[in-house]
Amino acid sequence: MPAKLKLVHPPQFDEDARWAAVSRRDASADGAFWSCVRSTGVYCRPSCAGRPKRENVFFVETRAEAETAGFRPCKRCRPDRFVAGSLSERIDHVDWGKVKTLLDGQGWAPLGRLLSDDDCAALIDGYDDDERYRSTVMMRRHGFGEGEYRYFADPAPPLVSMLRTGLYEKLAPIANEWLAALKENRPAFPATHEAYRRCCAMAGQNRPTPLILKYGPGDYNRLHQDLYGGEIFPIQAAVLLSEPERDFSGGEFVMTEQTPRRQSRAIVAPMEKGFAIAFAVNDRPMTGARGAYRVKMRHGVSEIRDGKRYCLGVIFHDAA
Ligand SMILES: [Fe+2]
Ligand SMILES: [Zn+2]
């Protein structure tokens, strides 16, 4: 017989403290718990400016509990946008099992919100700081589209470096399975990004590739693949730094998938400010009746109608 679970804290004690935090709109309690409001069907941060009645509110520890119980994120306090912890903790909290299933099945996966509003603002504010970058590319000059992007110099700002090393470690096992499925003739990707950068350097690719892209009205990015030589890590990430429909309109993140002997299929990935997605750089394996075959993916950005759109691109291989 399994032992009966005992509650360590009497729940009423926490409930009163939580309601007190909600009553004073205590932002320091954000992330510790969430209030579900029965009368509206939404869940909120403790700091929400809404004024629900006590009898309509109950508390949960995680957003997943609120969503499972059928509550929607409040449009006012946006509990879905809350990010807590260090960047490495946020990366650890991504559901990597689900990400693997989606990457294997469709070639791209949302990673959720990895950057806070402050993180996004800091990266956008740094866009004009020339010291941060090793080069700037005007897309028109190369026929890539309209708009510009800047490659970070080495070392990249800590946030960008942490994102690159942290995501690499999670994606390397998936990339290694892709290698095996596609029967690629190359050694496995090492476990750490530091070791992988040494592989890139040995292939003559030693310039860092993380970049910020900036688009204004009329700008766009043609469908492409971020390849910089023979050394290719097959998955990359992008984090949107601007808020769709507020900072800009248009500017959808678009991918195409080309299956042998078929026309290309278009995919539009929904993004939000601070949200990250992972996607295939070029070839990914797709399982068919006679084993895995190659599907080619490309990505780009549709025309920006209004405003400014900034995006952080995290490519794991370096450039020659
Ligand atoms: Fe790209
Ligand atoms: Zn709210």
Ligand 1 centroid to residue 281 C-alpha, Å: 8
Q: What is the distance in A from the centroid of ligand 1 to the CA of 150?
A: 12
Verify that 245 and 144 share a domain, yes or no: yes
145 Cβ contact list (under 8 Å, min separation 6): 139, 219, 220, 221, 222, 300, 301
Domain boundary among 56, 81, 106: 81
What would the DSSP string read from start to end of 25-52? T-GGGBTTBEEEETTTTEEE-TT-S---
Looking at residue 214, the DSSP 8-state letter turns out to be: E
Q: How many domains does the chain have?
A: 2
Same domain for 39 and 25, yes or no, is yes
- Among the bound ligands, the one closest to the CA of 209: 1
* CB atoms near residue 31 (< 10 Å): 15
3-state secondary structure 215-280: ECCCCEEEEECCCCCCCCCCEEEEEECCCECCCEEECCEEEEEECCCCCCEEEEECCCCCEEEEEE
Q: Where does a domain end: 53, 81, 109?
A: 81
Dig out the tokens for 271 from the structure: 């993004």
Which of 48, 64, 81 finishes a domain?
A: 81
Gap between the Cα atoms of 122 and 309, Å rounded:
15
By the 8 A CB rule, do 298 and 259 touch?
A: no
**Same domain, yes or no: 261 and 131:** yes
Q: For residues 183 and 188, give the distance between their C-alpha atoms in angstroms, rounded to a whole number.
A: 11
Expressed in angstroms and rounded, the spacing between residue 91 Cα and the centre of ligand 1 is 22
287 C-alpha to ligand 1 centroid (Å) = 25
Residues 148 and 297 occupy one common structural domain: yes
In 10 A of CB 209, how many CB atoms?
A: 22
- Chain position carrying tokens 């910089």: 228
Element of type H or E holding 63: helix 63-68
pLDDT for position 81? 84
Q: Give the pLDDT of residue 13.
A: 55
Ligand closest to CA 66: 2
Nearest CA among 319, 311, 102, 89 for reference residue 197: 319
Element (H, E) at 180: helix 158-181
Cβ atoms of residues 123 and 312 within 8 Å: yes
Let me know if residue 175 belongs to a domain: yes
User: 16-62: per-residue pLDDT in tens?
Assistant: 999 999 999 998 888 889 999 999 999 999 999 999 999 999 999 88
- Cα–Cα distance for residue pair 52/18, rounded to 1 Å: 13
Nearest to 36 by CA among 20, 24, 48: 48
Question: Does some domain include residue 202?
Answer: yes
Domain-located, residue 28: yes
Beta-ladder partners of 301: 221, 253
CA of 92 to the centre of ligand 1 (A): 25
Residue 242 lies in a domain: yes
Ligand 1 (single-atom ion) residues, CB below 5 Å: 226
Tens-digit pLDDT string for the chain (320 aa):
444 444 444 454 588 999 999 999 998 888 889 999 999 999 999 999 999 999 999 999 888 899 999 999 999 999 988 888 899 999 998 999 999 999 999 999 999 899 998 899 999 999 999 999 999 999 999 999 999 999 999 999 999 999 999 999 999 999 999 999 999 999 999 999 999 999 999 999 999 999 999 999 999 999 999 999 999 999 999 999 999 999 999 999 999 999 988 999 999 999 999 999 999 999 999 988 888 899 999 999 999 999 999 999 999 999 99
CA of 143 to the centre of ligand 1 (A): 14
Q: Any idea what the CATH number is for the domain that residue 53 is in? A: 3.40.10.10
Count other Cβ atoms within 10 Å, centred on residue 131.
6
> Is residue 75 domain-shared with residue 143, that is, in the same domain?
no
Instruction: Say if CB 173 and CB 196 are below 8 A apart.
Output: no
187 vs 167, 232, 233, 280, CA distance in Å? 20, 12, 12, 19
Helix (H, G, I), strand (E, B) or coil at 82: coil
Question: Does residue 67 lie within any of the structural domains?
Answer: yes
Ligand 1 center–CA 313 separation, angstroms: 7
For the domain that residue 139 is a member of, what is the CATH number?
2.60.120.620
Inside any domain, residue 3? no
Residues 213 and 278 in one domain: yes
Q: Same domain for 159 and 204?
A: yes
Residue 55, domain extent: 11-81
**235: nearest Cα among 177, 292, 195, 287:** 177
| Domain contains 190 | yes
Same domain, yes or no: 73 and 144: no
Q: Which ligand lies nearest the alpha carbon of 35?
A: 2
